[in-house]
Structure 1
Amino acid sequence: MTPRYYAAACQTDLPRPRSREEIAGRVDHLLGMIDHAVVGYAPIFDVRLVVFPEFAHAAPMYETVEELRDKLAVPIPNEHTDRYVAKARERNVYIQTGTFLEVDARWPGAVFNTTCLIGPDGLLSRYRKVNPWLPWEVHASPHDLPGYDEPMFPVVETEIGRLGAAICYDWLFPEAIRALALAGAEVLIRVSAYMDPWGATPPMDWWTLFNRARAVENMAFVVAANQGASAANYPPFSWPGGSMVVDFDGRILSQADPGPGEKIVVGPIDLAALRAERGRRRGHHMLSHLRTEAYTDLYARPIHRPPGRA
């Protein structure tokens, strides 16, 4: 185990691609940001985790699933994830990729919004967004596919801790992030494209609110990378960045200044401190105090209503 290291939350401000042929150029740029984070801070500390935002490779800019499949979606693994694996080995880092729009032959007709955890040993997991931002996002949720049999909330054991990721709107659902924590996650990774006015600026600032709340209620570190694109690059919204690292007591360890623009913010991940606190605390230990059987009736019947159904 690496008991202490730094994580880099990287936000981007790039024009959105209109075809999958443009994704390689985005990957070129993101690989360069990994080099900047690792090499730039090497004299001071080791950056071992690098996180990118939602839509870093492609945004759901077309209105139909058919157009997304035709123009932007890619299978995973692919030549881009291969390049991330090579960079992870070169720099000895773990990379939570920005999202891809993904197709999978097992689920014909579906497009997933997917982020991958990649390390020196290869592609370790992929997380498909469970809660698309309705009604604007038309990609599929694994929850809605009959017979879906892959883990919806994967957590991976690594030398830098147990890592689990979820995407943007997922974080407004405490159950989604609790699922990662109950699977053992110590570092919760948020890959996000959170727009104004709910982003990292007052008076709303849901971005900071939910990142801190999820850290506290799950006693885990949070590394959250938010999209920093201007309205000109990713219309119709502006994307306020504010990428951050939060500790298990909800303290903001570092945060990029709110506002569009490419930025890298780094913060410490102290696994030894986290594990000591999880083992020592008797108060304010929600994971330990959770009475799951008290809540089983809450979800005894389906609540989710598909779009367009009252």
Structure 2
Amino acid sequence: MVNKLKIACLQVSAREYSDRFENRENILKMIDKAADSHPQLMVLPECVYPAYYISPLIVKNSLEFQKSTLVLITEVKQRAKLYKCYIALGIVETDPIENILYNSALLINPEGQEISCFRKSFLWHFDSHWFCAGEEYPVIETEFGKIGMFICSDGRLPEIVRCLSLQGADILLDLTNWVTSGFEKENLTNPQVEYMIPTRALENRVWIIAANKVGMEAKSILYCGKSAVFAPDGQIAKIASSCQEEILFYEISLEEAINKSIDNQINIISDRRPELYSELVQPTDTLPIYSIMKKKTGPKNPNPFTAVVQIEFEDNFKKYLQKIELFINNLLEQEADIIIFPECDFIFPENGEEIIHKIKQITKGRKALCAITLVEKADESYYKTTFLIESGKLRGKYRKTHIEREEKSLFSPGDLGLPVFKTSYGYVGVMIGYEGIFPEIARTLTLKGSDIIIWPSKFCNDRQIIICRSRGAENKIFVACSNSISHQSNGHSLITSPSGQILTSCLGKTEQTSLSSLNLLLSRNKNIVPHTNTILNRKPDTYKILLNNIHIEEK
């Protein structure tokens, strides 16, 4: 396998369906122009031909563009062969036998042959008015490694990219039509480019090459451009403008995607625990979230005033206990309903019961839920455990199930599964530390009914920010991340909404708490836009690979 791959993202100007012949000439012209720089792979946007918006109000008969689409595909195949280049092309695909349409991505090899076809699975908004959904996630072997494709809103579902990754894909092509709004075309953006696709790249340790359009279709569908290359560390390696037709070139290092370890703490593939993820493939109407979504009433207290606390842990137990007590009392004075402390190190392993007793005393008779993460000793084992204490009573506990490398000599993996706790403030799930990077955990907690996920952590590199926003948006839930400032940890705690917005946040390297009121009813509305529901439009029977144990050798 070669070590480098030169790619070209062709950021094409959107054109109306009526201008499809002009559009075809422009597509071919851009391919010719890109070829001057000798890329080995070109990626074009979603439905680059004939157009994305093909409403029956505009297209009276799909037969009228079938012929010209086939002509374009033939011409693109000829150019792939001429330029000895792979080309990924987004088209409207017609199935003449079934008389149905798909929003499809074709991958053409340097011999001019179509070697893979992906059909958009998670349909967006009006897509379902004329497109049928795909149900397969093919991966193709090339001299550059295994390549998979997905289309636009497919990137909003963690399952689809994960299915491609678990099949061994290290290079993913995102043929997209990221839509947007804004006052200035130079400043247009989209949640996917800001944090969701960086998260997909990081949580799978893959390269993602995304090609988007610029301009507008149907005087209502505005594209944000920003075609980009996302590196396996979640960083944007290179990005285009939001308003100019252009070609983005970049040479990727294929070796970077081979190592599936993050921060030398977790292997994002081998450290999965599929035995805990059974809900991911169960029929939607059998899951707790399905019945919860149908309820006409919400939680007893649907608007909890929620606090994330970031503290520096003390070496002295008495000082530590005093600090905990001070923060809780101050927050109760400020009428906080939920109080969340950060992830701890291996401290005070013999004093857990005393800390819990103190918090029970403080919160007794008070309407408050406190989440504190401690070292729990049980028999001869130690667990990193988050205790939920509500109004002086232990509501439940979660033992960290996905143990990091530096913890394996100290802690045992949790043996209580991935529970969701019923509280006066809705259903609460918990994940700890690097567990937040495994998309399966937050998704499983959501499917079990969580309204809010509590996430104690101790990151030193701000990974929690894009992850927190993505987990909120992809699951349509609140996520509250309390990040430590001890040792190398840098704070920047935050709470995100079901749309991925940051509701409140903390400074770096500062002992602080920050609060926000949460409308938990928003967590029970899983519609993103009309006809696109992050729970109901999943296809669990196509995600079977998520339950496979897959081991990746450490490099």
**TM-score range normalised by the length of the shorter chain:** 0.7 to 0.9
Q: What do the CA deviations read for 1:249-278 (whole angstroms, capped 9, x no partner)? A: 0121110122x2311112221113322x24
TM-score (norm 1): 0.81
Q: What do the CA deviations read for 1:230-249 (whole angstroms, capped 9, x no partner)? A: x3x44212211000001100
Length, aligned pairs only? 287
1:114 and 2:104 are equivalent in the alignment: yes
Partner of 2:257: 274
Partner of 1:13: 13
Task: Please state whether the residue corresponding to 1:111 is helix, strand or coil.
Answer: strand
Q: CA RMSD in A?
A: 3.2
* Alpha-carbon distance in 2 for matches of 1:136, 1:79: 24
Computing the radius of gyration over CA atoms, which structure comes out larger, 1 or 2?
A: 2
Q: What do the CA deviations read for 1:124-168 (whole angstroms, capped 9, x no partner)? A: 11111111113454211134xxxxxxxx11111111221111111
1:35 and 2:68 are equivalent in the alignment: no
CA contact under 8 A between 1:243 and 1:255: conserved in structure 2?
yes
Greater RCO (CA < 8 Å, at least 6 residues apart): 1
TM-score (norm 2): 0.47
Partner of 1:216: 202
Cα 1:200–1:163 change in 2 (3 A) is: farther
Partner of 2:178: 194
CA contact under 8 A between 2:13 and 2:214: conserved in structure 1?
yes
Q: In structure 1, give the amino acid aligned to 2:88.
A: Q
Q: How does 1:118-267 map to 2 (within 5 A)?
A: 118-121=108-111, 122-138=113-129, 139-143=131-135, 152-197=136-181, 201=187, 205-229=191-215, 231=216, 233-258=217-242, 260-267=243-250
* Alpha-carbon distance in 2 for matches of 1:137, 1:56: 18
Task: Please state whether the residue corresponding to 1:239 is helix, strand or coil.
Answer: strand
Structure with more strand by fraction: 2
Partner of 1:104: 95
* Alpha-carbon distance in 2 for matches of 1:162, 1:244: 20
Cα 1:234–1:96 change in 2 (3 A) is: farther
CA contact under 8 A between 1:9 and 1:52: conserved in structure 2?
yes
Question: Identical aligned pairs, as a percentage?
Answer: 24
Task: Please state whether the residue corresponding to 2:7 is helix, strand or coil.
Answer: strand
Q: In structure 2, give the amino acid aligned to 1:237.
A: I
* Alpha-carbon distance in 1 for matches of 2:203, 2:12: 29
* Alpha-carbon distance in 2 for matches of 1:72, 1:293: 48
Q: In structure 1, give the amino acid aligned to 2:34.
A: A
Deviation at 1:292, TM superposition (A): 1.9
Match of 1:283 among 244, 247, 265: 265
Cα 1:308–1:176 change in 2 (3 A) is: closer
* Alpha-carbon distance in 1 for matches of 2:54, 2:67: 15
Deviation at 1:281, TM superposition (A): 8.0
* Alpha-carbon distance in 2 for matches of 1:23, 1:65: 12
Partner of 2:46: 54
1:299 and 2:290 are equivalent in the alignment: no
* Alpha-carbon distance in 2 for matches of 1:64, 1:74: 20
Cα 1:62–1:203 change in 2 (3 A) is: closer
Task: Please state whether the residue corresponding to 2:105 is helix, strand or coil.
Answer: strand
Deviation at 1:289, TM superposition (A): 1.6
